[in-house]
Structure 1
Amino acid sequence: MELLLETVALFCLKLAYETEDSSPILRDDLMMSDYEREVFGLLVRRGDVEAIQRKVAECASLALNTVGGVDTVLGRELHRLAADFSASYSMDQLDTRLIALRDYLKDIQ
């Protein structure tokens, strides 16, 4: 799950900050320091669903602003998927909803 969380964060940050004329954002970039696999790994091992949700919500908020907010087609779907993720109450639910969020972010890149 740690890799999946890191991937969602990476896709959000890429969407928010990466431009055509700049170098791509990579997993080892400084802006990913709060969203590294090890950071998520610690939260997963603790079973800290709320902290995981907060971290993902931070990234999803950046991506949502980039696509124009909830008033756009992309934004409405991203908001719905992020809200579903935030409504999870167990690690098992996080996993399923995180996959849907990752797949959507990958598609809109």
Structure 2
Amino acid sequence: MELHLETVALFSLKLAYESEDSSPILRDDLVMGDYQRDVFELLVRRGDVETILQKVDDCVGLAMEALGGAEKPLGRELNRLAADFSIAQTMEQLDNPLIALRDYLKAIQ
């Protein structure tokens, strides 16, 4: 799960901050500091669903802005997937919506 969380953060931040004429954002970039796998690993071990939801929401919010908001087609689908993820209340409930969110962000890169 930690890898999926980190990947969602990475793809979201790539949408928000990466431009064609700049070097790509990588997992070890400073912008990823609060969203690296070891940070998520600690949260998962603690079962801290609330903080995980908040971190993912922060990243997805940046991606949403980059897509032009929930009124645009790509933003509308991202908003739907993020809403599915945000209603999870247990670690087990995070799995499927997280994978769907990851796959969508990867597809729109």
How far the C-alpha of 1:29 sits from its partner, in A, is 0.2
Give distance in 2, aligned partners of 1:96 and 1:36: 20
| Alignment of 1:28 onto 2:28 | yes
In structure 1, runs of 5+ residues without a counterpart are none
| Alignment of 1:77 onto 2:77 | yes
> 2:19 maps to which residue?
19
Please identify runs of 4+ aligned residues in structure 1 that moved more than 4 A: none
Give distance in 1, aligned partners of 2:93 and 2:20: 35
**TM-score, normalised on structure 2?**
0.98
**TM-score, normalised on structure 1?**
0.98
Q: CA RMSD in A?
A: 0.5
Letter in 1 for 2:65: N
The number of aligned residues is 109
> 1:51 maps to which residue?
51
Question: Residue by residue, what CA displacement relative to the aligned partner does 1:32-91 show, whole Å, maximum 9, x if unpaired?
Answer: 000010100010000011100000000000000000001100011000101110001111
Percent of aligned pairs with the same amino acid: 71
